[in-house]
């Protein structure tokens, strides 16, 4: 059995959410069941990029991760695309036996038994601006599958007021999940330089909205990697 891999890169820092700032090697899976309007990883989603993806065994991915990490255990983040389309159980088993930690970020549309072997399961339901519709039963199944993971958190990207209000309702469905909000980056084109002030303004707006509402549940964070490297890939 092989995995469809769009890219493996690092070590670098995790740029967002619960593990922000943590040294990480990223394994980006190819393929996604969603087509979010503002997806910043279309090279791992759109089948037009399929020829750039590599079929690798779990052992080959593991060798690459070890090589990048210099054999020193760190966090491996499974991202995508939607990594839940594929079976990352064998890779996680190899890594955990060597002391590596595993995180997975998925929208919560497909539950997998290997979620239980994760250190951190990041469920990132997509708000209305994505153009997608969340299946909350599937989301609950993902939570259940990850029940034995060390921790499960929810992360939501916010582009506008509608997304913000939606995030409140999403949180109300799962109030026990630690919640992370981040402003969306509308400039995902590789050739378009990001505007740091515009990103800061979005973060300020989101922060102020939550404070005005006395909504203290979420942690509100920027996308650190976008502030540092813009839309550059593989960093």
Residue ranges for the binding site? 13-15, 28, 32, 36, 38-41, 79, 81, 124-126
CA 114 → CA 23, 24, 90, 118, 125, distances in Å?
Answer: 22, 20, 9, 7, 19
* 73 vs 234 by CB, closer to ligand SF4: 234
Residue ranges for the binding site for substrate? 13-15, 28, 79
The two tokens of residue 178 are: 């630690």
Nearest to 99 by CA among 63, 74, 119: 74
User: Shortest distance, CB of residue 35 to ligand SF4, whole angstroms?
Assistant: 5
Reduced to 3 DSSP states, what percent helix, strand and coil does the chain have, rounded to the nearest 5? 40, 20, 40
User: Shortest distance, CB of residue 174 to ligand SF4, whole angstroms?
Assistant: 18
CB atoms within 10 A of CB 175: 8
User: Shortest distance, CB of residue 74 to ligand SF4, whole angstroms?
Assistant: 23
CB 7 within 8 A of CB 59: no
Residue bearing tokens 């026990």: 176
23 membership: H or E segment, kind and range: strand 23-29
User: Which class for 23: exposed (0-12), middle (13-18), buried (19 or more C-beta within 10 A)?
Assistant: middle
* 27 vs 69 by CB, closer to ligand SF4: 27
* 58 vs 123 by CB, closer to ligand SF4: 123
* 28 vs 174 by CB, closer to ligand SF4: 28
Residue bearing tokens 């239980």: 116
Helix (H, G, I), strand (E, B) or coil at 4: strand
Residue ranges for the binding site for [4Fe-4S] cluster? 32, 36, 39
* 10 vs 83 by CB, closer to ligand SF4: 83
User: Shortest distance, CB of residue 44 to ligand SF4, whole angstroms?
Assistant: 6
Which residues of this chain interact with ligand SF4, rule CB under 6 A?
A: 32, 34-36, 39, 41, 45, 80-82, 107, 126
User: Shortest distance, CB of residue 95 to ligand SF4, whole angstroms?
Assistant: 22
């Amino acid at each position: 059995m092989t995995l469809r891999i769009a890219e493996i890169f690092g070590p670098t820092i995790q740029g967002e959410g619960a593990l922000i700032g943590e040294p990480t090697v990223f394994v980006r899976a190819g393929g996604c069941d969603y087509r979010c309007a503002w997806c910043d990883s279309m090279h791992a989603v759109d089948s037009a990029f399929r020829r750039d993806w590599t079929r690798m065994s779990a052992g080959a991915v593991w060798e690459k991760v070890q090589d990048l990490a210099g054999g020193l255990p760190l966090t491996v983040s499974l991202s995508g695309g939607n990594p839940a389309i594929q079976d990352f159980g064998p890779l996680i088993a190899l890594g955990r036996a060597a002391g590596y930690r595993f995180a997975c970020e998925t929208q919560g549309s497909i539950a997998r038994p290997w979620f239980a072997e994760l250190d951190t399961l990041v469920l990132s339901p997509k708000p209305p601006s994505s153009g997608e519709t969340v299946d909350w039963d599937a989301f609950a199944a993902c939570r259940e599958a990850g029940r034995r993971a060390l921790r499960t958190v929810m992360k939501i990207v916010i582009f506008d007021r509608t997304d913000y209000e939606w995030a409140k309702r999403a949180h109300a469905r799962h109030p026990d999940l630690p919640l992370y909000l981040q402003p969306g980056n509308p400039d995902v084109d590789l050739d378009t330089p990001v505007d740091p002030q515009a990103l800061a303004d979005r973060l300020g707006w989101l922060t102020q909205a939550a404070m005005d509402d006395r909504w203290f549940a979420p942690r509100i964070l920027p996308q650190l990697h976008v502030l540092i490297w813009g839309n550059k890939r593989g960093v």
